[in-house]
Structure 1
Amino acid sequence: MDNVRSIGTEFYGDYNDGGYDKILFPCLKSLELVRMQNLVERMDAMEPTTTGMVFPCLKNLSISTCEQLESAPCHFPSLEEFDISQTKSTTFEKISSKLTTLTSLHISGISELASLPEQLLKNNSSLMYLNIWFCDDLVSLSPHGDVWGFYTSLRSLQISNCKKLSYLPDGLHTLRSLENFEVRNCPNLRSFPSIKGVALLLRTLAISCSDEVLPIGLQSCISLSSLEIDECPNLISIPNLQDLHSLSFLTITSCKRLMGLPDGLDYLTRLKSLTIGGFCEELDSFPSLSSIQPASLETLELYGWAKLNSLPADIQRFTALTQLWIRNFDQMEALPEWLGKFSSVRYLYLRECKNLMYLPTAEAMQHLIYLHIFFLPQINGKMWKGKRRRVAQNCPYSKYLSPLKTD
């Protein structure tokens, strides 16, 4: 509703009718305000001196893309899930000032938000899920260090794409129920807090920071099923991972000083998905994958860099692969014919390989059911003439290739 500038007291009806103790919206459980571009104020129903109740059963509140909103009510006595995005920080602080019953909080794209309000952190002792995305001005979680009331309740903490985030308190390792801890694409985070106190509980861990070493406690995370180490530009080594026996998903990408893979990968017998690459550009070849257990691996995603002109040959060991991703092998001109040995591979993804011109023959590719091609500038209409054109006609995924268009 682009023309709405104010939601006044008429929204609540004649709340004085029947006395100040009237209950307004007694059954409403969910309320959303979405894409109201010019909404400036949403008035409260009552003055603070009244004794009536508003939204006694409201559990879910969502406010999205209301960028001009400056004032809003804060009387939500039973609110459990609060999702707010693309709104001013003052509005967020106003609404959250009296919340005490939250179990889930999702914050995204809040401008001028340097830290979360202290009262919000202290008063919500039942908070289980906290997600913070695309808050460009966020510097720290709390304005005064470890000030929060959800030590025993928080299960999941996700922080992503917060460009100014520079500090995470060490007290995070005291969160007794934390199972999911993810920090992604926060380039100014100086160091990652210790996870020693929650190591045995963690199931999912994603690390992004500018430190040279990984946090204390990583080797003790024996219950981890997913580990992601991404966008760590100063990281020089990764500790031995042999004790992470439950690991099913492993990502090590965009670590520009890393010269190789960690030790202990041969002990990861449950590993199903591996995403690796984007290492030191001084390397002339991709690090050996010979230590990876071949029997369990189903998905392999390789990130190359400017110098690489070929795929690592030991990929051929992974006979159980069903999905193969190949990215950023800028000097590679042709895919090897031995890809045809992967009769198990059904999905092949080729992305951003600037000089890739040739695919294997039809015989080597006929087991595929899906081929994804994105930003391969050297592949154009000319390569589908003659034999190469017949490849497309004979393959079961020909509808994706004919006619081929380059992004």
Structure 2
Amino acid sequence: MMGNLCSTLPNLVHVTLLRCGRCQQVPCFSQLPFLKRLTLVSLQSVEYMENSEPILSLSSKSPIMSSTLFFPSLQELTLIYMDNLKGWWKVGENADISTIESSYDRLLIQRLQSMSFSNLTKLRLDECPKLISLPECPNVEELTLVDTNETISVIKMATASPSTSKLASGSKLKRFTVSNLEDLISLPRECLHQLSSLDVWDKKLVNTEEIGKQVFMSMSSSLRSLSFTHCHSLRFFAQGLEHLTAIEGLVLWNCEQLHLSADEHIPWKYFKSLRSLQFHMIPKLLVLPSGLQHLTNLRSLEITNNDELMELPEWISCFSSLAYMYLRYCPKLTSLPEAFCNLTALNQLKIIKCPGLTGGCQGPKGSEWPKIQHIPLVQVLKDYGG
């Protein structure tokens, strides 16, 4: 449909294709010289991204490599809900060259296997269950692999040298979102040493014992941000956390079985560097864990969509550095502790969809207003619209 993009739209910088369910073949985006961001979402009929033939051109005597670069400017690649995507090319990525007789085919496959996203720094693969290979991404810094095929090799794809296809000592991976823990555990220790952000999306994860022993120890000085997202089976996450003494941000999001109050072994006292804490959709969160009193350097606290949270504790005044608090959809909260008056560093408070607090926190006549009137910016909304 789009023809030769190089001639018709040579200056494209950002391309997004969304919900083209019947589309079986996408244009050859790799030849666009200035393309920086490519996003494909819900192209369920696409099996391969490109035809391999344009990689080579034929002269009268022998095949000659095309001089056109492969994605010379691409920095961000996002593939989401590509249900039938198997690879970038139909042949070549996993072929055994020694078994191929045709010199043309051997050269073609050698050329394909040497291709890499040389400038790609951000790669997201989400819900691509049949994808088993991609060109290497030796310079990727931010990688997301959620519900992808377990056979795809994160080591080969994101930490390999384009010239030798062996592990590169200078891997640049810094941020990793992963749903298959084997992908995380398989990373070489030198890669773990430099990871600054980890987001775990494992629906089957029950506790952190395995990654605590094999992974967290290697991240003790590098990891700054840790998230557990949609870990529906997670019950305990204390194991191994004591190693993460440099962590600055912790997010727990949609963990249905997580019982924070009952897990007394969570090493909150080691998190002296923690600045940001978020509890989103934790159904078993009835009260805040008492161990949070150790977080004296906490500056941001977000508590959202926690249906059963009954109250905020009086010891909340321990958060002497807290500057921002966000409360959203906590329907059983009906009052704020008197200790709110002692949160002198708090300069922004947002309360949205908390019906038990809405009236009381709207000054100057609200019952809760004396506790929060010292806060410079207070936003209280019945809903997002006001």
TM-score range, shorter chain: 0.5 to 0.7
SS at match of 1:42: coil
Maintained 8 Å contact 1:84/1:92: no
Maintained 8 Å contact 2:353/2:382: no
Per-residue displacement from partner, 1:103-149 (whole Å, max 9, x unpaired)? 53624456654323325963672314263456x5x32223xxx5x55
Per-residue displacement from partner, 1:162-203 (whole Å, max 9, x unpaired)? 6xx44342x332347469xxxxxxxxxxxxxxxx96798442
Per-residue displacement from partner, 1:31-61 (whole Å, max 9, x unpaired)? xxxxxxxxxx33459xxxxxxx837975746
Give the root-mean-square deviation of aligned CA atoms: 4.2
Q: Describe the shift of the 1:218–1:208 C-alpha distance in structure 2 as closer, same or farther (beyond 3 A).
A: farther
Shift of residue 86, structure 1, vs aligned partner? 5.0
Name the CA distance, whole Å, in 2 between partners of 1:102 and 1:368. Answer: 47
Maintained 8 Å contact 2:176/2:195: yes
Maintained 8 Å contact 2:330/2:353: yes
The structure with higher relative contact order (CA 8 Å, sep 6+) is 2
Maintained 8 Å contact 1:219/1:239: no
Q: Describe the shift of the 1:334–1:319 C-alpha distance in structure 2 as closer, same or farther (beyond 3 A).
A: same
Shift of residue 230, structure 1, vs aligned partner? 2.8
Unaligned regions of 5+ residues in structure 1, if any? 1-40, 46-52, 180-195
Counterpart for residue 275 of structure 1: 251
Counterpart for residue 79 of structure 1: 33
Counterpart for residue 346 of structure 2: 368
Maintained 8 Å contact 1:294/1:320: no
Counterpart for residue 315 of structure 2: 338
AA aligned to 1:374 is I
Name the CA distance, whole Å, in 1 between partners of 2:230 and 2:9. Answer: 48
Maintained 8 Å contact 1:140/1:168: no
Name the CA distance, whole Å, in 2 between partners of 1:61 and 1:265. Answer: 40
Name the CA distance, whole Å, in 2 between partners of 1:176 and 1:132. Answer: 12
Maintained 8 Å contact 1:260/1:287: no
**1:139-218 equivalence runs, <5 A:** 139-142=129-132, 146=133, 148-150=134-136, 153=138, 155-156=140-141, 158-159=143-144, 165-169=148-152, 171-175=153-157, 177=159, 201=171, 202-209=173-180, 215-217=185-187
SS at match of 2:177: strand
Shift of residue 246, structure 1, vs aligned partner? 1.4
Counterpart for residue 17 of structure 1: none
Shift of residue 396, structure 1, vs aligned partner? 1.6
Name the CA distance, whole Å, in 2 between partners of 1:261 and 1:93. Answer: 39
Counterpart for residue 127 of structure 1: 117
AA aligned to 2:241 is L
Per-residue displacement from partner, 1:200-244 (whole Å, max 9, x unpaired)? 8442222213x7996345766222212222343344433322332
Counterpart for residue 31 of structure 1: none
SS at match of 1:117: strand
AA aligned to 1:344 is S
Name the CA distance, whole Å, in 2 between partners of 1:235 and 1:197. Answer: 31
Residue 374 (structure 2) pairs with residue 389 (structure 1): no
Name the CA distance, whole Å, in 1 between partners of 2:154 and 2:11. Answer: 30
Counterpart for residue 293 of structure 1: 270
AA aligned to 1:117 is W
Shift of residue 349, structure 1, vs aligned partner? 1.7
- 1:310 corresponds, among 287, 298, 311, to 287
AA aligned to 2:335 is Y
Shift of residue 102, structure 1, vs aligned partner? 1.4
TM-score relative to the length of structure 1: 0.64
Name the CA distance, whole Å, in 2 between partners of 1:126 and 1:274. Answer: 34
Q: Describe the shift of the 1:386–1:395 C-alpha distance in structure 2 as closer, same or farther (beyond 3 A).
A: same
Name the CA distance, whole Å, in 2 between partners of 1:356 and 1:76. Answer: 53
Shift of residue 328, structure 1, vs aligned partner? 4.6
Maintained 8 Å contact 1:253/1:303: no
AA aligned to 2:212 is P
Using the TM superposition, name which of 292-301 and 336-345 deviates more. 292-301
Unaligned regions of 5+ residues in structure 2, if any? 56-68, 94-111
Counterpart for residue 49 of structure 1: none
Maintained 8 Å contact 2:196/2:222: yes
TM-score relative to the length of structure 2: 0.67
Shift of residue 255, structure 1, vs aligned partner? 3.1
Name the CA distance, whole Å, in 2 between partners of 1:328 and 1:74. Answer: 44
Name the CA distance, whole Å, in 2 between partners of 1:124 and 1:59. Answer: 25
SS at match of 2:231: coil
Name the CA distance, whole Å, in 2 between partners of 1:218 and 1:292. Answer: 29
AA aligned to 2:294 is R
Per-residue displacement from partner, 1:62-87 (whole Å, max 9, x unpaired)? 24458487887649745363624357
Shift of residue 344, structure 1, vs aligned partner? 0.8
Maintained 8 Å contact 1:369/1:396: yes
Calculate percent identity across the aligned residue pairs: 20
Name the CA distance, whole Å, in 2 between partners of 1:213 and 1:132. Answer: 14
Name the CA distance, whole Å, in 2 between partners of 1:292 and 1:199. Answer: 35
Q: Describe the shift of the 1:108–1:349 C-alpha distance in structure 2 as closer, same or farther (beyond 3 A).
A: same
AA aligned to 1:371 is L
Name the CA distance, whole Å, in 1 between partners of 2:226 and 2:176. Answer: 10
Counterpart for residue 358 of structure 1: 335
Per-residue displacement from partner, 1:242-276 (whole Å, max 9, x unpaired)? 33221111223443443433444334332211224
Q: Describe the shift of the 1:258–1:212 C-alpha distance in structure 2 as closer, same or farther (beyond 3 A).
A: farther
Name the CA distance, whole Å, in 1 between partners of 2:42 and 2:282. Answer: 39
